[in-house]
Amino acid sequence: MSAVKENGNLQQGPIIEVTDLHKQFGPHTVLDGVSLTAHTGDVVSLIGASGSGKSTLLRCLNMLEIPHRGKVCISGEEILLKTNRHGQTVPANPRQVDKIRTRLGMVFQNFNLWPHMTVLENIIEVPVRILKQPKAEAIAYAEALLEKVGMSAKRDAYPGFLSGGQQQRVAIARALATRPAVMLFDEPTSALDPELVGEVLKVIRDLAKEGCTMLLVTHEMSFAREVSSKVLFLHKGRIEESGTPEAVFTAPVSERCRQFVNAQQWKS
């Protein structure tokens, strides 16, 4: 299969542009002025300790978390936010958010497949219901994606009858089905038994090789080092270190990043 084509317009500029993002949960500051850009074909890994804000940053891109301040642009289109009468930041136009969300393929830590739909139904749901693709076309593409993630045999199974690794591969196919501009992976292997991690990483690695644009939150350091074009290390809601995988993993400037990377390498 050819490289993943995206829906929405092809942009010359960055696909993702985040400027000075701030997010608080109550008194706790989770993101404290984060900026990042990603271009077509980039594989950006977000690493850092638990609670450093990397998942929150990813979830701010599709407004599953609403940032308090800052700017998020997807394919050059800024997500418009406003302050409501309770003083909360909310999307100015929910339809715009829904439209942009169809260009972002999200893969969750807990898979979050819809359990009452079969594998195939999970994959064609959004293309058919939201993107209004003809059903036959959506099914054909879904079958190609299932082939790609090695799940063709389970086409008509319900997610509850699959292993975690199989569910996550289906979840990746579901996210690819909308031909997203960017794939967002939120710790895709953290909920898996150790022996199932490999099959999921293989699928992600294949996507990276095809030139699929991805943002990846992960604790798999060697994997991040292998597939990424850029690695960001987050600490206390700030980007503490960023650069090529070699730079971040072998010659980090920041002391904290050095400690984190070393500790992780000892583990594996």
Partner 1 sequence: MLAWIQHAFEMVVNEWGWALLRGALVTIQISFGAFVVGLLIGLVVAMAKLSGNAPVKKLANAYTTVCRAVPELLLILLLYYAGSDAINAVLRLFDMAPVDLNGFVAAVTVLGVVQGAYAAEIIRGAVQAIPYGHIEASKAFGCGRWLTLRRVILPEMMPYALAGLANLWMVLIKDSALISVVGYNELLFTTKQAAGSTRQYLLFYMAVAAIYLLVTLLSNAVFVRFERSFRRWMPAH
Binding site for partner 1 (CB under 8 A): 62, 64, 94, 97-102, 104, 106, 108, 110, 112-117, 125-126, 129-130, 158-161, 175, 178
Report in angstroms how near the CB of residue 15 gets to partner 1 at its nearest.
17
Least distance to partner 1 from the beta carbon of 114, Å?
Answer: 6
Closer to partner 1 by Cβ: residue 156 or 195: 156
Q: What is the distance between the alpha carbons of residues 55 and 30, in angstroms, rounded to a whole number?
A: 10
Q: Least distance in Å: CB of 235 to partner 1?
A: 26
With respect to partner 1, which residue has the nearer C-beta, 118 or 242?
118
Nearer to partner 1, 65 or 220 (CB): 65
Please identify, using beta-carbon distances, which residue of 63 and 196 lies nearer to partner 1: 63
Rg of the chain on CA atoms, in Å: 18
Shortest distance, position 130 Cβ to partner 1, whole Å: 6
Task: Compute the distance between CA of residue 180 and CA of residue 5 in angstroms, rounded to an integer.
Answer: 7
Is the Cβ of residue 115 or residue 198 nearer to partner 1 in the bound state?
Answer: 115
State the nearest-atom distance from the C-beta of 4 to partner 1, in Å.
16
| Secondary structure of residue 231 in the 3-state scheme | strand
Name the token pair of 257.
């990043």
Distance CA 81, CA 67 (A): 9
Neighbouring C-beta atoms of residue 78, cutoff 10 Å? 13
| Cα 81 from chain centroid (whole Å) | 21
State the Cα–Cα distance between residues 44 and 243, nearest whole angstrom: 10
CA-based max dimension of the chain: 55
